[in-house]
């Protein structure tokens, strides 16, 4: 007797049911090396129509076990299709959050070191639609234009988190999104900086002051110009070095909607 | 020269700009004692039209400073109106997350102790609309029906988090939402339990096995019947005692939409 | 039959047994206002000799319930004594972690706003000894001397956490420790800063560059000179604005031990 | 001119200075497969004598970069030696925290799935001494003996974290410590359980009730009998399914000290 398979009288459909916060080692595609090893936290859900009492939780884990060696933006759809089939559901949701490493060269010395970025892939499959969203969190330096303009010397700066979410019509590398965000920061971050590099990043940030509002707008400008992107959000949180709270800005844009004033 | 007030050429409006994760002591309304002291984390944002370069971050903190002694579901709207006026914005968002304490009596001995619940109020004011959402996280016991039915003795159980969000047409106490969620758990939690209480909660949970799907449906049933509630979400996360991941279910319902099959 | 009271054959004494991570509203002493309302997370433990099977967990909660209205550095000892008596133990440990708020005036405009600091009190009572440790985490600005000296303009700076632990022979206010740490930072933080304040803190930080090593040493120097302090640790973590990791330094000193070279 | 190399007049030595919370992919030794890919957070510190102003932060990152492909309990010492040499320090500390995955078979069906465990290695090298501590956090099921004995049916149970730290005279696999902790839990956890497995773990936990005190003592008993182990701590935290706080117990033992009563 399978308790989960009993009919249900409450007639309330459930939007999402499944497993949350399970962690597995995975391999993800990498623009430079072909692939990289990382660890992912997964959430995997299906919908449950009103007439079923429960879902089969162990099947979610089995599906993840079968696929962990080959997960990528491309394979997301087939995993979602397998979830729909094996869980007998209409809709399937899969979220996969993992750190992603990119080897960078210090701006003057060229010394190599790795930077880590938090990435989340979210896929949603229904009988009518399939959608995948790529989210990348990019830590950067922000330097305050107001502080620079009113002060005789110096300007407060700090670490900030830029948070991008995009839906694209063509393939987009994680590296593409990271580079796009880093290019619009006051400066980007590095694992190792030698003395001439430290001079460079200090002066570069001072020459590129940005409010949190500038960060999100300048990145949005680039996303507007990238024809692959059809929808995006861009947020930025400055962990202010002069306050014990953050400054924050956030834009959401569906590019099928026009910008105001023909911008 | 006020850098923030400069005109902006990028023509990209910002949905939200403001301060994030600032913490203040507050007093909130309490059904039993009139009010209680707690601490809140605030996020406060306004929109920024495309032609303004920046907002005035310090004004957000000043508004919070002026109101912290009297924040409640009722005063949210006036704070949002003040934000719109002082920041010269169309839209204002305010989020306030705080622990809320309720004195409970143990089920047999009647011994009193406090339970803590995470509450978040979210208000959104536009020229056309005002909306407030109350979110309450209620920790409970869940006991697995499948485990009970297939085992000769015992049944795995665990702490779960029920997460309710509601929009209401009338006043709803935080206590109302907590009680509603606790009534549908396998059992509710207590700060202090004496031996006869521990016997009671153990047996009560065993007599009320619930899947994570049952938790959200049974709570949804109650929210359907509560005429004050117009929209809700209910989620439940079981921190499974037999796995190192969670089971999760989630329902979202706008009650102006009919349930399937005239349910 | 009380299972916990049974004799135990394994002959292994337990150093600490009790409750962890319970949250209660409390009132703590405040140098300016007499007292302030805040929320504390408590851990409360006793030792358990090898011949007892278990302790009585509910008594810990009952003791906290009885005292939450009056907890302070002074009352810690009496709570610990009550723990020893009611749990029939030799040793008692109590940890209480809470945010503490101090009203500060902006350095030029004098505008008032609150800053929050994480405080932890740890008490340990044995038949021979009683010891209380006060820990305060003070968020500050640090500005890098190397970056300043090698750059034509600007200098990277960031939010840092200074973490002080002290044992004292006389009463020490939380405010005393906060002020001591803030005085040695590149600059201290504020909830609200007006434009002349922002100019001040920017220039002040630029005039006071400090490595993470300087932060801990300069604070240690002050703790050496404070005759009330008999033992301390001082740590500092810089959330580097140019890296995605922290710079860290830490000193531990029992002042009854001489410094090297008669320093 | 190298600011960090300047002489320092404050005459206060620093116990630890270095980098904190840097994340890198690593490969660690694995009893079954030879090695596994995972991600580690590192803290790396040296001492700084009173006459040096600062250390060279970038060298820490360079050392990690050079070694990440081969980090293991065995290679820790050589990394620490390199830290001492390149940072010109007396003492070196290295902490490496990473999730570790073990493939387990479900107890009845034999279905395979992975479990994740948090592991931390801590090494400390001085001119006189070298010490490495292995810490493993093992999530398990605990079932309350008191609840079982006083209730007509059922017993509250929950997920618990067992936390082991050991220093050993011979090589110890992470798997050895995990198995030792799991063997003394009410039951151990699995990624996938089929129905006969769920029956087994439910009944097995019911047959093996353990207080948090029993958990730490029974594991301590095994560590006493393991001749490789010379020092250990064992903690257990039960995330109580009937309370919103944890029950906790902790033992620390240097085995060169006799147990009481010749135990």
C237 vs chain A: nearest CA distance in angstroms? 13
Q: Which parts of A2-150 are beta strand (E)?
A: 14-30, 34-48, 92-105, 112-125, 130-143
Q: How many CB atoms lie within 10 A of CB D84?
A: 18
What integer pLDDT is reported at residue B261 of this predicted model? 64
Q: How confident is the model at residue C52 (pLDDT cuts 50, 70, 90)?
A: confident
With 70 as the cut, is the pLDDT of residue A3 above it? Answer: no
Q: Identify the pLDDT of residue C261.
A: 64
Least confident of A105-114, C22-31, C216-225: C22-31
Give the number of residues written for chain C: 263
CB distance C131 to C80 below 8 Å? no
Q: Is D248's CB within 8 Å of C14's CB? A: no
Q: DSSP readout, chain C?
A: --GGGSB-SS---EEEEEEEEEEEEEEEEETTTEEEEEEEEEEEEEEE-TTB----HHHHHHHHHHHGGG-STTTHHHHHHHHHHHTT-S-EEEEEEEEEEEEEE-TTT--EEEEEEEEEEEEEE-SS-EEEEEEEEEEEEEE-HHHHHHSSS---EEEEEEEEEEEESS---HHHHHHHHHHTSSEE--S---HHHHHHHHHHHHHS---HHHHHHHHHHHHHH-TTEEEEEEEEEE--SSSSSEEEEEEEEETTSPPGGG-
For chain A, percent of residues with pLDDT exceeding 90: 81
Question: D interface mutation test: which of B242, B245, B246, B247 has the most D CBs within 10 A?
Answer: B242
Q: Which of residues 136-195 of C touch A (CB under 8 A)?
A: 139, 141, 143, 146-147, 150-159, 187, 189-191, 193, 195
When CB atoms are compared, the residue of B61, B111, B112 closest to C191 is B61
Q: Which residues of B touch C111 (CB under 8 A)?
A: 62
Q: How many CB atoms lie within 10 A of CB C201?
A: 26
CB contact under 8 A, C24 and B58: no
* Chain D closest-CA separation from residue B183 CA (Å): 15
Cβ-defined contact of B54 to A213 (cutoff 8 Å): yes
Q: Which of D16, D218, D224 sits opposite C250 (nearest CB)?
A: D16
Least confident of A5-14, C227-236, D34-43: A5-14
Higher pLDDT, C68 or D106: D106
Closest partner CB to D25 (pick from A2, A37, A58): A37
Smallest CA–CA separation between D207 and chain B, in Å?
A: 9
Does the pLDDT of residue D263 top 50, yes or no? Answer: no
Mark yes or no for CB contact B203/D139 under 8 Å: no
- Nearest Cα to Cα of residue C148 among C100, C107, C189, C202: C202
Whether residues A58 and D193 touch (CB distance < 8 A) is answered with yes
What is the residue-averaged pLDDT of chain B?
A: 93
Tens digit of pLDDT for each residue in A148-194?
999 999 999 999 999 999 999 999 999 999 999 999 999 999 999 99
Tell whether B124 is within 8 A of chain C (Cβ): no
CA of B181 vs chain D CAs: smallest distance (Å): 15
Q: Which two tokens stand for residue B61?
A: 């903190």
Give the per-residue pLDDT at A71.
Answer: 73
Q: What is the mean pLDDT of residues C38-53?
A: 91
- pLDDT band of C2, cuts 50, 70, 90: low
CB contact under 8 A, A23 and D194: no
Q: Is the pLDDT score of A39 beyond 90?
A: yes
Residues 6+ apart with CB under 8 A from C72: C28, C29
Taking CA–CA distances from D191, the nearest residue in chain B reads B243
Chain A stretch 50-109, residues whose beta carbon is closer than 8 A to a beta carbon of chain B:
50, 53-55, 57, 61
What gap in Å lies between CA A224 and CA A205, rounded to an integer? Answer: 24
Evaluate if residue C114 carries a pLDDT over 90. yes
Q: Give the three-class secondary structure for A41.
A: strand
- D132 part of contact set with chain B, CB < 8 Å: no
| 3-class DSSP assignment, residue B4 | helix
Residues in chain C within 8 Å Cβ distance of B116: 23-24
Residues of A in contact with B21 (CB under 8 A): 245-246
CA C37 to chain B, closest CA, distance in angstroms equals: 7
Render pLDDT for C140-198 as a digit per residue (tens, 0 to 9): 999 999 999 999 999 999 999 999 999 999 999 999 999 999 999 999 999 999 999 99
Instruction: Tell me which residue of D243, A21, D147, D141 sits closest to B140, measured CA to CA.
Output: D243
Inspect the interface and report whether the beta carbons of D212 and C10 lie closer than 8 Å.
Answer: no
User: pLDDT digits over D42-74, tens only?
Assistant: 999 999 988 788 889 999 999 998 886 667 777
Task: Report how many Cβ contacts below 8 Å link chain C to chain D.
Answer: 162
**B250 in Cβ contact with B233 (< 8 Å):** yes
Does the pLDDT value for residue B54 go beyond 70?
A: yes
Q: What integer pLDDT is reported at residue C4 of this predicted model?
A: 67
Determine contact: D114 vs chain B, CB below 8 A.
Answer: no
| B69-80 average pLDDT score | 81
Q: What percent of chain C has pLDDT over 70?
A: 95
Query: Could you tell me which chains touch chain A, where touching means 3 or more CB pairs under 8 A?
Result: B, C, D
- pLDDT at position D262, please? 47
| C chain contacts of residue B36, beta-carbon cutoff 8 Å | 25
Chains in contact with B, where contact requires at least 3 CB pairs less than 8 Å apart = A, C, D
Task: Please judge whether C198 and A242 are an interchain contact, meaning their C-beta atoms are less than 8 angstroms apart.
Answer: yes
Q: How far is C142 from chain D (nearest CA, A)?
A: 15
Any idea which of A220-224, B178-182, C76-80 has the lowest mean pLDDT? Answer: C76-80
B187-188 vs B246-254, strand pairing mode: unpaired
Subunit contact D39:A36, Cβ cutoff 8 A:
no
* pLDDT at B80 > cutoff 60: yes
Least Cα separation, residue C230 to chain D (angstroms) = 16
Whether B1 shows a pLDDT value over 70: the answer reads no
**Chain D: nearest CA to C148, how far in angstroms?**
10
- Interface contact D10, partner C, CB < 8 A: yes
What is the tens place of the pLDDT at every residue in C57-66? 999 999 998 8
What does the pLDDT read at residue A263?
44
Q: What is the pLDDT of residue A183?
A: 98
Answer whether B58 sits within 8 Å of C192, measured CB to CB.
yes
Tell if the CB–CB gap between D116 and A23 is shorter than 8 Å: yes
CA distance C95 to C131: 12
Cβ neighbours, 10 Å, residue D129: 8
């Amino acid at each position: 007797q399978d308790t989960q398979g009993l009919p249900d009288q409450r007639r309330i459909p459930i939007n999402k049911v499944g497993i949350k916060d399970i962690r597995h080692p995975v391999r993800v595609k990498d623009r430079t090396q072909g692939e990289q090893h990382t660890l992912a936290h997964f959430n995997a859900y299906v919908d449950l129509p009103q007439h079923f009492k429960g879902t089969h939780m162990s099947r979610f884990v089995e599906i993840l076990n079968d696929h962990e060696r080959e997960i990528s933006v491309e394979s997301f759809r087939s995993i979602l299709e397998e979830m729909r089939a094996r869980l007998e559901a209409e809709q399937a949701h899969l979220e996969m959050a993992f750190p992603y490493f990119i080897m960078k060269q210090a701006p003057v010395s060229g010394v190599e070191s790795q930077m880590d970025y938090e990435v989340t892939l979210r896929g949603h499959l229904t009988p009518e639609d399939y959608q995948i969203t790529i989210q990348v969190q990019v830590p950067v330096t922000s330097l305050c234009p107001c502080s620079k303009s009113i002060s005789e010397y110096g300007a407060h700066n700090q670490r900030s988190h830029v948070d991008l979410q995009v839906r694209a019509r063509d393939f987009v590398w994680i590296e593409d999104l990271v580079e796009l965000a880093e290019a619009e920061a006051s400066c980007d971050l590095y694992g190792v900086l030698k003395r001439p590099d430290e001079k460079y990043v200090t002066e570069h940030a001072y020459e590129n002051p940005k409010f949190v509002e500038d960060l999100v707008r300048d990145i949005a400008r680039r996303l507007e110009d990238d024809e692959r992107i059809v929808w995006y959000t861009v947020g930025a949180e400055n962990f202010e070095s002069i306050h014990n709270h953050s400054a924050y800005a956030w834009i959401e844009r569906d590019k099928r909607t026009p910008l105001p004033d023909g911008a």
